[in-house]
Structure formats: C-alpha cells, structure tokens
Amino acid sequence: MIKVFITDDHFMVVEGIRAMLGGRDDIELIGYASNAASCRAFLQSRQPDVLLLDISLPDGTGTELCKELKEKYPKMAILGISTFNQASYIKEMIDNGALGYILKNTTQKELVEAIRMASIGKEYMPFEVAKTLHLAKQSADKIILGRREMEVLNLLKVGFTNPEIADKLNLSVNTVDTYRKSLLFKLDAKNTADLIRLAFLHKLIDAD
C-alpha cells in the first residue's frame, strides 16, 4: 500500500485529490496539512511513501521545504503540485529533490501514475510539464534561475556580501553560498564580478 500525504493550503485541492485517489487498492491517503509547520509536525511521527507538496504555502515556499524534507527524510518521495507551469518553478522543485511536478489540472490517470512511479523512486513528468522544460532547454539564451537564485543575484549586484544576504533573506550563510555557487555554474562565471557581467548580458538583471 502506497501511503500518501498532501500539503496544500486549498481545501478544494485536497478534497479533489482525495476523490481522485478514492477506491484505489494500492494507495492510501493518510492525511493532509495546510502549511509547512503542520507538515513538519506530522512528519515527525509518521512519514508517507509519497508527499504531494504545493510550491506555494502560507508560511514558506514548497521548493525550500522540499529541500529541507529530502535532507531529513531521504527515503520519502516528493511530488510538487502547482497551478504554475513555469520552467523556473519546475526546475527549482526538481533541483531540490522532487521526483516530479504535477499541475493542479492533472487527470486522475496522471496523478495515480505519478504517485506509483514516485513510490518506486522513478521520476514522472506529465506531458505539459515535460514540454515546458523542453522548450526552456531549447532556448539557448535562456538561463533558468529559481526565485531564491534571482534574489541572491540581485543582492550580489548591489554589493551585498554572503553574510549580509543571509541576514536579509533569513537564510544561513552556507545556503547563500550554495545559491552563489549555483549561479556561477549556471552562467559559467569565474567569480562574482564575472557573474554580474554575464547576468547583464543574458538580461537576467538590469543596470539600475
């Protein structure tokens, strides 16, 4: 039996998923949380096989929570769920450990297949999501950055240091450094000055 837990702040979404999963012999919905704090509290005592995680929560982002939970519960599979079919969101969720990304207009067949695939450690992308990622990769000039990466990039642009960025964004210095290194890698930059130069060239930031 595949145990599933939902974290989403929209009750209609939770009820919709509950209805879509109802009557399945191999899937059991063991509960839901409406925010990150409630999700963390539940997982302290019981972990599902698959966590359906909204990317936007009242007390944080699902992308950051995904990374945190994968580090704490590496055996638990996570599937991002969202209304946003945007490459930056999808990529950030996958980069942070999710095995897939499902849109909230998904079909019952896609949802069930995604859960079954994730439960055995396999990645699943619905056609719409896979198409979005493919088109993003086809665009040679398009570099996809996550929300946090953009925040760090813009603060680096105006001269903030890693500790100052960590304080401003309420992150650890190590986390900020990880984002900075990711930016250097994605833009193939040698150092921070080169990173800012390339970011201007790729029109990721402006000159103001």
C-alpha pair distances (Å), 96 with each of 16, 59, 90, 173: 26, 18, 10, 18
List, for residues 28-65, the tens digit of each pLDDT value.
999 999 999 999 999 999 999 999 999 999 998 999 99
pLDDT of 168 reads 93
Q: Strands 77-82 and 50-54, how do they pair?
A: parallel
pLDDT of 206 reads 78
Query: What's the whole-number mean pLDDT along residues 119-137?
Result: 87
Give 140's pLDDT tier (boundaries 50, 70, 90).
Answer: very low
CA distance 98 to 9: 19
Give 190's pLDDT tier (boundaries 50, 70, 90).
Answer: confident
List, for residues 95-111, the tens digit of each pLDDT value.
999 999 999 999 999 99
Radius of gyration of the chain measured on its C-alpha atoms: 18
Give 132's pLDDT tier (boundaries 50, 70, 90).
Answer: confident
CA distance 124 to 180: 29
Q: Exposed, middle or buried, 22 (CB in 10 Å: 0-12/13-18/19+)?
A: exposed
pTM over 0.75: no
